[in-house]
Amino acid sequence: MMASVMPTNRRDFLRSGAVAAAVAATSTTVSAPWLFAQPKQDALKESPIKLGIASYTFREFDRAHVIDWMKELKVANLNAKDVKDHLPMSPAEATEAAVAAYTAAGIKLTAAGTVYFPKDEDEDIRAKFDYAKRAGVKVIVAGDPTPQTLPRIEKFVKEYDIKFAIHNHGPEDKIWPSPLDVLKAVKGMDPRMGCCIDVGHTVRAGTDVVQAMHEAGPRLHNIHMKDLANFEKKDSQVAVGEGIMPVKKIFEALGAIKYKGFVDLEYEIHADDPMPGAIESFAYMRGVLEGMEYSHQQ
């Protein structure tokens, strides 16, 4: 009897398992041969969903690792944070050196963040917008601005033409637990004032994440994607596809609202060995997109 062929390493095994899981998640009529002869990318529709990654996933590693691992993941879109040497905020030369390294590697910086705004002062806010301008990004993913600071921030949004996406952080966040709290605060302000929906923190806040995306509409400027095994437990995070996050419904909602931003994987567990979970997460998300007859080429 011929032995079955098994993946040669853990990462290949995770990838094959994630694709199989994606098939189960997206169709009840897919036959087994699909697993071995996947649809050709050129036969699929262009996807409205653009996948990226938050550099916080690799927070324990330097920029060289970020670049190498993004090539391995075949991901070209990066939401970079001032952690390690990923995208230093200062000095300006360090920001520019990081941008040059990513550009040389074929990586596009799509957002900066999470960037914090603790002061209601022009000088501090301008420094953060100058940082985003040096990085060449059109979205700042922002943490912890107070509602009282938003009118001042709005002035810089208009001046720099950079979107301001307030990141919700779940029930522990006393100001922005849910994206719905963000939407209430920015109602009536410039449309570039909006939210970054962190899907994990959103469901833990008791908010329907799909409905929140519909309510945000054009004010949705960024998404942090993750998965949870239990919507009430922060420490239940798993690779995307292993939990109960409604990934397909999320992608459908983004298509319905004509979302123009990026879906950035933010894998916050196993910081010392993030690649197996990142590989599994992208394999699952790409499998879901193919099940929806979308190309996942970025």
Residue ranges in the chain whose pLDDT is less than 70: 1-43, 296-298
Q: Which residues are CB-neighbours of 72 under 8 A, at least 6 positions away?
A: 275, 279
Amino acid at 191: P
Amino acid at 4: S
Q: What is the pLDDT of residue 96?
A: 97
Q: What is the pLDDT of residue 45?
A: 85
Is position 36 within any domain?
no
Is position 202 within any domain?
yes
Amino acid at 176: W
Q: What is the pLDDT of residue 200?
A: 97
Q: For residues 47 and 42, what is the distance between their CA atoms, to the nearest angstrom?
A: 12
Is position 32 within any domain?
no
Q: What is the pLDDT of residue 23?
A: 41
Is position 2 within any domain?
no
Q: What CATH code is carried by the domain that includes residue 125?
A: 3.20.20.150
Q: What is the pLDDT of residue 142?
A: 97
Burial class (CB within 10 angstroms; exposed 0-12, middle 13-18, buried 19+) of 275: buried
Q: What is the pLDDT of residue 85?
A: 98
Whether the Cβ atoms of residue 126 and residue 165 lie closer than 8 Å to each other:
no
Is position 1 within any domain?
no
* Bridge-based pairing state of the strands 227-228 and 237-238: antiparallel
Q: Where are the beta strands (DSSP E) in 55-156?
A: 77-80, 108-116, 139-143
Is position 70 within any domain?
yes
Domain that holds residue 239: 11-17+46-291
The structure's pTM equals: 0.86
Q: What is the pLDDT of residue 46?
A: 85
Nearest C-alpha neighbor of 260 from the set 111, 107, 99: 111
Is position 224 within any domain?
yes
Is position 29 within any domain?
no
Q: What is the pLDDT of residue 278?
A: 98
Total tally of structural domains belonging to the chain: 1
Q: What is the pLDDT of residue 177?
A: 97
Q: Which residues are CB-neighbours of 161 under 8 A, at least 6 positions away?
A: 138, 192
Whether the Cβ atoms of residue 211 and residue 198 lie closer than 8 Å to each other:
no
